[in-house]
Amino acid sequence: MASGLGGLLATGQTTKKQATAGLLESARLEAQQDIAQQQLEMQKEAGIQQAQGTIVGIGGAIGAKAAAGAITKGATFSANAGAAITAAATPVGWAIAAALLFRKIFD
């Protein structure tokens, strides 16, 4: 009787060890998947931010060119500053709007 009970206990312990090992492996795989998902989300966010920076940079370059073209020789500083700001505002504003729209599309 004792060997029968001992064998039953040993079988139960083996089953418990196997179940625990299976749960640990499942938890490890889930943690790996979570880490991979977080990395993908971070890469996507970095790509969106890089594209937004490029869009705003292009708008800034266009605005700078427009501002330089708006400056007149012989005009006062305040007149030139006002003309330059006015000329640059539209391209820069469009670039910022495009960057925000880009975020909405890919977010």
Count of domains for the chain = 1
Nearest-angstrom CA–CA distance, 4 and 9? 9
**Which tens digits make up the pLDDT trace of 20-71?**
989 999 999 999 999 999 999 999 999 988 988 898 888 888 888 888 787 7
Asked whether the beta carbons of 59 and 96 are under 8 A apart, the reply is yes
What percent of the chain has a predicted confidence (pLDDT) above 70?
A: 94
Per-residue pLDDT at 1:
45
| Average pLDDT for 80-100 | 83
Lowest mean pLDDT among 1-10, 44-53, 73-82, 93-102: 1-10
Asked whether the beta carbons of 52 and 31 are under 8 A apart, the reply is no
CB neighbours of residue 84 within 10 Å: 18
Domain ranges, residue 25: 2-106
Asked whether the beta carbons of 89 and 63 are under 8 A apart, the reply is yes
CB neighbours of residue 86 within 10 Å: 12
- Structure-model confidence comparison of residues 7 and 31, the more confident one: 31
Nearest one of 51, 39, 36, 60 to 106, comparing CA atoms: 51
Is residue 12 pLDDT above 50, yes or no? yes
pTM of the complete model: 0.61
| Contact partners, residue 67, CB within 8 Å, separation at least 6 | 83, 84, 85, 87, 88
Mean pLDDT, rounded, of the chain: 84
